[in-house]
Structure 1
Amino acid sequence: MHRTIHCTPIKFHAPQKLVDAIHEEAARQGMNLSEFMRSIAREKVGLN
């Protein structure tokens, strides 16, 4: 059974260089930032 979890966006402060690097990696993988962050979260909890 799949369960949908609705949540609000997470905001955090980070150095601009880190933000730029995350955006660049997301683009390299053909994802927008939200998709990229979700893929990292899924990987961390073993859903990939």
Structure 2
Amino acid sequence: MPTLTRLLFALLLLGALGYGAIYSLANFVDPREREITVRVKKDGFGR
């Protein structure tokens, strides 16, 4: 039983670290704004 408890604690710790990393990236990092241009081929467009 102690092995199962240790495994569950390790998984819980890894999950909390992953959640914290995603939370901090979402709230504290601002994305750069830039212009994006995408070219679309005319072949087959509008068929």
Q: TM-score when scaled to structure 1?
A: 0.33
Greater relative contact order structure (CA < 8 Å, 6+ sep): 1
Higher helix share: 2
Q: Is the radius of gyration larger for structure 1 or structure 2?
A: 2
Q: TM-score when scaled to structure 2?
A: 0.34
